[in-house]
Amino acid sequence: MELRQLQYFVAVVEEAGFTRAAARLHLAQPGISAQIRQLERELGQPLLDRSGRSVTLTEVGEALLPYARAALAAVEGARQVADEFSGLLRGRVTIGVLSGAAVHEFDLAAVLAAFHEQHPCIEVTLAEYSSERMLTALRDGTLDIALVGLADEEPPPGVSLQVLIDEPLVAAVAPDDSLVADASSTNLRLEALRDRPLISLPRGTGTRGVLERACARAGFRPRVVFEAADPRFLAQLAARGLGVAAVPRLPQHVASALGLRVLPFAEPQPRARIALAWRTPGPTGPAAGALLNRLRTDLGTADVAHN
């Protein structure tokens, strides 16, 4: 039994077919098929059921799979230990990022480029999800690190955070909106949004969660009529009089260019927060640990308590 046979076996299982596994491994399909058949001959048992449209595991294959993955993980761990002593890091890191333009405040591309120059043998993969989904993916190990929007004050169990942006949520409206007069002498009370058409980030984002919780505390459910991932697009919709945009604080030049009035909420102000997140107590491998340290240094310095 050879390590590459186990690698091919795991790839075929994860890709549910020989063609996709061959593309993933950058190998010819016949070679992968031949190696897995050789493994089956050595074990004296079929590992894969090839009779359907997709390849599935036999009972023996299901029993072997965790051992194959453990063997590959052990070899990768041995390589990482050796690389640490030689000063060369290898591995793969998967980062989750906020959907749309919500990370326009960060030059993430520059940070990743600098990290790649320092560690060219580390493969970094980006995945774009909602914040809610990313927090789940961090806990189950699908993601190593994530840039998330926060709906709650405290980190969820099993996740540590470093807050990068913490700013008030505001109401952006067309200049002739009746809310402008309502808020002329004081900050806007959240109750003023009851039954008003609202424009917001999608469900699953931290900012949407903050808005929904704040409205629930005020005794009503927000009536969201437009949603999109880009706060600036939401502001453009509000400028056309299509509703009240509940967005993180807009730069003054953006509001002025759109002819928007930006109304702060009365206390307690709902706040939009973006944070760097990772599993507690830390990434599982040195590659992810190195990237996390780089991101924490380059993107911000404000920490929240860990769970």
Q: At 91, give phi and psi (nearest 5°).
A: 135, -175
Could you tell me the CA-to-CA distances from 91 to 38, 123, 241, 286 in Å, in that order?
28, 6, 50, 8
Q: What is the pTM of this model?
A: 0.64
Asked if the model's pLDDT at residue 305 lies above 70, the reply is no
Please tell me the least confidently modeled range out of 73-82, 208-217, 233-242.
73-82
Residues 6 or more apart in contact with residue 292 via CB below 8 angstroms: 144, 145, 276, 278, 282, 283
Class of domain 3-86: mainly alpha
pLDDT, tens only, 127-162: 888 888 899 888 888 899 999 988 887 778 889 999
Query: Which residues does residue 45 pair with via DSSP β-bridges, in sequence order?
Result: none
What is the model's pLDDT at position 304?
Answer: 42
pLDDT, residue 10, reads 92
Question: Phi and psi at residue 279, in whole multiples of 5°?
Answer: -70, 145
Quick check: 144 and 283 in contact, CB under 8 A? Answer: yes
Mean pLDDT rounded to a whole number for the chain? 85
CATH code for the domain defined by 89-307: 3.40.190.290
Res. 104 pLDDT band, cuts 50 70 90: low
- Are 3-86 and 89-307 the same fold in CATH? no
Residue 55 has pLDDT above 90, yes or no: no
CA distance 221 to 101: 26
pLDDT at residue 301 tops 80: no
- Widest distance between CA atoms in the chain: 82
**Domain residue spans in the chain?**
3-86, 89-307
99, pLDDT greater than 80: no
CA distance linking residue 51 with residue 93, whole number of Å: 35
